[in-house]
Structure 1
Amino acid sequence: MSETKVFLLPDLGEGLTEAELVNWLVAVGDEIRVDQPIAEVETAKSMVEVPSPYAGTVAELHGEPGQTLDVGKPLISVTPVGGSMAQQPAEVTAETYREEEKAGSGNVLIGYGTPGGTATVRRTRPRRTLSLVEPAETKTVETGTQPKLTTAADDLLLKRTRVPGKLGAVISPLVRRMAKEHGVDLGHVQGSGESGLIMRRDVEAAINAPAVEPGETPARPLVEPAETSTPNVDSRTGLGIVSRTPVRGVRKAVAANMSRSRSEIPEATAWVDVDATALVELRAELKKKDGHNTPGLLAFIARFVTAGLKKYPELNTRIVTAEDTSGGEQQEIVAFDGVNLGFAAQTDRGLMVPSVRNADKLSARELDAEIRRLTAVARDGKATPAELGSGTFTLNNYGVFGVDGSAAIINYPEVAILGVGRIIDRPWVVNGELAVRKVTELTLTFDHRVCDGGTAGGFLRYVAYAMENPGALLADL
């Protein structure tokens, strides 16, 4: 009899620990092949097609559309045809699955898939891998009081939160061992370190948290909400409830990111009105020559921003918490060799912030092309986690919504964001004479821990001067 294989929802990259099941692409009883897309899921970053590592007959679908699934939990069960797995070994591991994706058919997860070639995987030394197939073999761990059974699934929970190219969410062997010995599921522990790094104190807090015994009723709040006989009436306002929308996917990620930004960053805001007439006229002249190939105004402003960040690199940094030599913690300001310029893009799935990699090395024309490309893939839900989570500074053009100014919230963990308002005709004094000019407002919100007002003001005035004198600045860029 063929053994049914259970495929667990894999790590989708960038430390994401859950995904919403949008749509099944297969049904129970269907014959599927290796790398065939089996489901569409929506993460906090993008819409993703999940391919199957198994070939065979679909035995069970674990979840319904609209349900949120945790990474490492069963997604689909597949029964091999003829008692053996076509094109795949009997046991598929998390590590080999990722490796095979890099050299597979190209039918892969958005964000870390294959180019569709026929390259082979080269390994220089054996790797310790974890089975994605359940049930897993159990082993006994001595905790000092009584033996505790653990499984490979427990190990998967300890390892499943990771960020490609960075250290994992749990890097200390001591923290891993402590979590194992006390039965703490690290998949449900919120790390207090940089990028969600789980520290020893986080595991200790989880261990000391009061547990609810089986059959015990959780403590009731001191103040109970007022009861109402009509479930569709809000008890506080007395108004009818039209709808209830779960906060999930992109909106959930945005809410968590903005809340963390406001709670952790001591922000300050500075703004200045800018006479952008010369920039508008320069673009109009270029458009007469190049037509539709002329970069947009945002691309020119982006070029001035990257130049300004080279003069004021404090605004292109990040604050991290690291362990010092004595085992304690200290804050560090991390500077970067280059600028990944994020920009706000409104989509049907909410506000996205894709980033132009190495934007400081691009011309205004190249920036314009990349901004247009990233805007398109973000609106199509196909932006990769790397494209959505690698920014070092954000440019927010809220002027397209007819807004003059806004004290924007910093896109954590960055330390600054520059907003550009609409460009409108306003009275302006030029050489002692009143004139009608094209005026906009620049607003800079910055983390006061990385710099003082002098640095922020210097950067803001630099970008403003560049917009007022674009010809002189572009000649030197």
Structure 2
Amino acid sequence: MSREFLLPDLGEGLTEAEIVAWLVAPGDTIAIDQAVVEVESAKSIVELPSPYGGVVASLFGEPGQVIHAGQVLLTVTDATDDASAGVVDVPDAAATVVAVEGSGAVLVGYGTTESTRPARKVAAGRFGTPRAADAPAPAASTPPVAVALAERPAEVAASVSAAIDSSSTVDPIRHSPVVSPIVRRLARENGFDASALAGSGHDGLVLRSDVEEHIRALTAPAVAVDVAVEVAVDVGIATPPSTVDAASADIRIPITGLRKVVSQRLTTSRREIPEATIWLDVDATALFTARDQLLAATDERFSVTALIARFVVAGLRRYPVLNSSVDTASQEILQHGAINLGIAAQTSRGLMVPVIHRAHAMSTRQLRDALAALVAQSPDGTFSPSALTGGTFTLNNFGSLGVDGSAAIINHPEAAILGIGRMIERPWVVEHALAVRTVVELSMVFDHRVCDGGTAAGFLTYVAGCIENPVSLLADL
């Protein structure tokens, strides 16, 4: 009996996902809740377990293909049926552990029969080394120069082939680890599989620089054409002029996945929220002094961003209306009791806002640790879906990008966002005399439906006061 495994509802209104990698192949025997495919939604990358056990009959979709909820991912047949029909030779020992009842599992860890899920085989894993016979053969892309000169004399063809082959580093048998979906997509868009490259990262990890370097090598046809022209001149053959300039060719980048969700959310924010922006230059010299004193007193490091996050939480307690959202259907301002602090992060998947839930109930040390955990995950953007939802206020440290300020877009449906610019030494007036101080610009964007400028300015000056004199926060603890 054949069973169809459909792409399940991934939650949070997500209706589509991109296939990143298959973890099984046709003919493999799987158990209930065994991870069979890795998909990337707009929120995160997850492994999907099969709700059925048996033998994989067929797979639907290739890595890089976008599928929608309800579409068939794979079909599974009863192992005993296939064995009796002579389709797949399944050993009796393996057949005895294969269940055929559905578990209803949606994501890894949510199944009802976790103990039956076998460990993933290294050879079949995402970073495993498949057998040569099982290795997927990447689509062969014939360089334009080779096509154009295919019927030319042997001297020209040999020169062109030598020029092209000298820059090729793709090995169809190789299966290097590729963590970043951006790197995989960039390689696919240029006609090759990133895992076929020799990665320069740790343990052979393929980096974006490796893919970009190979793309540059692929665009070396211009060099090959020059070689071919030189040989053609030598043998007295006329060659047509090159009509394609790869460097000036337009590139179409589809708006999909996370970029699509970010685009929709920012567009909604601009369309619905009547925002206003205020900013303030702040002397942060005392903040750095307080950080050093904390290190000396506790032998623990506290980042400046973590300390400012502490001030922001205290400020939202004093001005709670900024910790709100607007319910347009009921025409009400929903003031949230819990402070779920979003931290804007630039990741390999694009701009993401992971959330520190219940930040108001955390000590400064706990808040620091929660922020450090988010920072550690930021490079790859490997946040769980739950970590990207429920935010009530966003803190954006765009100073790390080297800019002083920004009129940021509010993270809909929140009511405000606070930006931190770069901290640099500037001339500053202290007690009627010029001095060199560490100065930072704070930028505050707020929803004018929720509050007026007086409330927003009160919050901003409160946070600024805590930065200029951190001891003042003690009065509110």
What does residue 446 of structure 1 align with? 446
Distance 2:116 2:433 in 1: 64
Structure 2: distance between partners of 1:107 and 1:93? 11
Aligned to 1:12, which of 10, 16, 22?
Answer: 10
More displaced, 298-307 or 426-435? Answer: 426-435
For 1:41 and 1:107, locate their aligned partners in 2 and report how far apart those are by CA, in whole Å. Answer: 22
In the alignment, what sits opposite 2:331? 331
Q: Given residue 295 of structure 1, which amino acid in structure 2 is its aligned partner? A: F
Residue of 44, 50, 63 corresponding to 2:61: 63
- Partners of 1:240 and 1:4 in 2: how far apart? 51
**Aligned twin of 2:290:** 282
Does the Cα contact within 8 Å between 1:354 and 1:375 map onto a contact in 2? no
Question: Could you tell me which of 16, 25, 29 is aligned with 2:27?
Answer: 29
Match of 1:101 in 2: 110
| Matched position secondary structure for 2:18 | strand
1:375 and 1:316 mapped to 2: Cα distance? 23
Structure 1 regions of 5+ residues with no counterpart?
109-229, 323-329
Q: What is the aligned residue count?
A: 340
SS at match of 2:21: strand
* SS at 2:434 equivalent: strand
Tell me if the contact between 1:51 and 1:107 (Cα under 8 Å) persists in the aligned partners.
no
1:316 matched to 2:323:
yes
Cα distance in 1 between the residues matched to 2:115 and 2:328 = 38
The DSSP-based 3-state class of the residue aligned with 1:379 is coil
| Alignment-derived partner of residue 209 in structure 1 | none
Higher fraction of helix: 2
One-letter amino acid of the counterpart of residue 271, structure 2: S
For residues 107 and 252 of structure 2, the distance between their equivalents in structure 1, rounded to whole angstroms, comes to 38
User: Counterpart amino acid of 1:105?
Assistant: E
Corresponding residue number in structure 2 for 1:42 = 40
- How far, CA to CA, are the matches of 2:244 and 2:410 in structure 1? 37
Give, in angstroms, the shift of residue 71 of structure 1: 1.2
Q: Distance in 2 between matches of 1:106 and 1:392?
A: 38
Query: Over the residues paired in the alignment, what is the CA RMSD in angstroms?
Result: 2.6
- Which structure has the larger Rg? 2
8 A contact 2:47–2:107 mirrored in 1: no
Contact residue 14 and residue 386 of structure 1 kept, 8 A: no
Distance 1:31 1:93 in 2: 17
Q: What SS does structure 2 have at the residue aligned with 1:438?
A: strand
Give CA deviations for 1:431-458 in whole Å, capped at 9, x if unaligned. Answer: 1121111110000111111111111111
Q: What CA distance in whole angstroms lies between the structure 2 residues aligned with 1:320 and 1:98?
A: 31
SS in 2 for 1:305: helix
| Counterparts in 2 of 1:39 and 1:102: CA distance versus 1, 3 Å | closer
Give 5+ residue unaligned stretches, structure 2: 83-94, 118-241
For normalisation by structure 1, the TM-score amounts to 0.67
Q: State the Cα distance separating 1:430 from its structure 2 match.
A: 1.2
The equivalent residue for 1:421 is 421
1:429–1:258: structure 2 CA closer, same or farther, 3 Å change rule? same
CA distance in 2, matches of 1:98, 1:64: 20
Which residue identity is paired with 1:302?
A
* Cα contact 2:22–2:36 (8 A) shared by 1: yes
- In the TM superposition, what is the alpha-carbon distance from 1:471 to its structure 2 partner? 1.3
Matches within 5 A, 1:209-224: none
Name the SS for the 1:101 alignment partner. Answer: coil
Distance 1:306 1:282 in 2: 18
Offset at residue 243 of structure 1 (A): 2.8
Residue 54 of structure 1, aligned match among 34, 52, 62: 52
Residue 265 (structure 2) aligns with: 257
**TM-aligned CA deviation for residue 100 of structure 1:** 8.8
Q: Tell me how far apart the structure 2 counterparts of residues 52 and 41 of structure 1 sit (CA, whole Å).
A: 13
CA shift for structure 1 position 274: 0.6
Task: Give the Cα separation in 2 of the matches to 1:231 and 1:282.
Answer: 64
Q: Report the equivalent of 2:276.
A: 268
Please name the residue that 1:343 is paired with: 343
What is aligned with 1:112?
none
**What is the aligned counterpart of 2:74 among 73, 76, 85?**
76
Residues 256 and 231 of structure 1: is their aligned pair in 2 closer, same or farther, counting only changes over 3 Å?
A: farther
The answer to whether the 8 Å contact 1:37/1:107 transfers is no
Shift in CA distance, 107/19, structure 1 to aligned 2, threshold 3 Å: farther
Letter in 2 for 1:333: I
